[in-house]
């Protein structure tokens, strides 16, 4: 069965770093704000080796298209336990840090991926619009659908963004990921414009003493992502 650590890293890499999403900001669909931060909560399950387990995740995200940097701090809970991982992508230096917060270790590797500008993929189809809420408290949302089909991966994806500013609202995906059956649902909350604390993009001090440049075996995905965040 996939370990809690491996699954955490898998989710973070899939959610935040795809080749599929690397495209100009003027893509045919909308683009998310150039700088924003907020939270993402997820729940679902994964099946590997004939065994299944529930998964809960909470992530803090900072996305900076101006400075070409992405940060994700994810806490994941599975039957295997709890893991806390930080992933820092710096596309100016082409480096990625995967930081195990509990073990206080750092894994540094070269990042050869193109920068994701945070636009809805051109091949995603706008399937319908909807109104969330009621009365005077409503939010207009547009829903997109797409299929991600690559080596060992087949996922049907639906995601929603706000009508006016293309702010992420939610995401659902089902299928197989790295030969593991998976179904996850995510919601975004607490989204604010700008980057209040740019220091999140700086690796912690202990990385200087506990950093390895080897690409770890639990990096199952380094070449694509799903939602444009």
Domains along the sequence of the chain with CATH:
4-14+30-212 (2.50.20.30)
* Digit-coded pLDDT (tens) for 64-88: 989 999 999 998 888 778 888 899 9
- Lowest-pLDDT choice from 40-44, 111-115, 222-226: 222-226
* Digit-coded pLDDT (tens) for 118-163: 888 888 999 999 999 999 999 999 999 999 887 777 889 998 999 9
Dihedral sign (CA 66, 229, 91, 24): negative
- Lowest-pLDDT choice from 38-52, 83-97, 110-124: 110-124
């Amino acid at each position: 069965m996939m370990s809690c650590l491996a699954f955490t890293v898998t989710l973070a890499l899939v959610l935040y770093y795809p080749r599929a999403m690397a495209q100009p900001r003027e893509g045919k669909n909308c683009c998310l704000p150039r700088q924003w931060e907020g939270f993402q909560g997820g729940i679902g399950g994964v099946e590997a080796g004939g065994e299944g387990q529930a998964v809960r995740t909470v992530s803090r995200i900072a996305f900076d298209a101006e400075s070409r940097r992405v940060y994700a701090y994810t806490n994941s809970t599975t039957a295997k336990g709890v893991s806390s991982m930080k992933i820092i992508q710096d596309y100016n230096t082409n480096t990625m840090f995967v930081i195990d917060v509990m073990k206080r270790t750092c894994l540094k590797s070269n990042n050869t991926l193109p920068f994701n500008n945070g636009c809805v993929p051109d091949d995603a189809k706008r399937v319908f619009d909807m109104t969330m809420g009621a009365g005077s408290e409503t939010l207009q949302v547009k829903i997109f659908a797409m299929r991600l089909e690559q080596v060992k991966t087949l996922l049907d994806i639906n995601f929603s963004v706000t009508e006016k500013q293309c702010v992420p609202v939610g995401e659902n995906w089902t299928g197989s990921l790295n030969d593991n059956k998976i179904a996850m649902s995510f919601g975004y909350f607490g989204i604010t414009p700008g980057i209040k604390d740019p220091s999140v993009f700086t690796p912690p001090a202990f990385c200087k003493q506990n950093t390895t440049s080897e690409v770890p075996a639990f990096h199952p995905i380094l070449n694509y992502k799903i939602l444009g965040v």
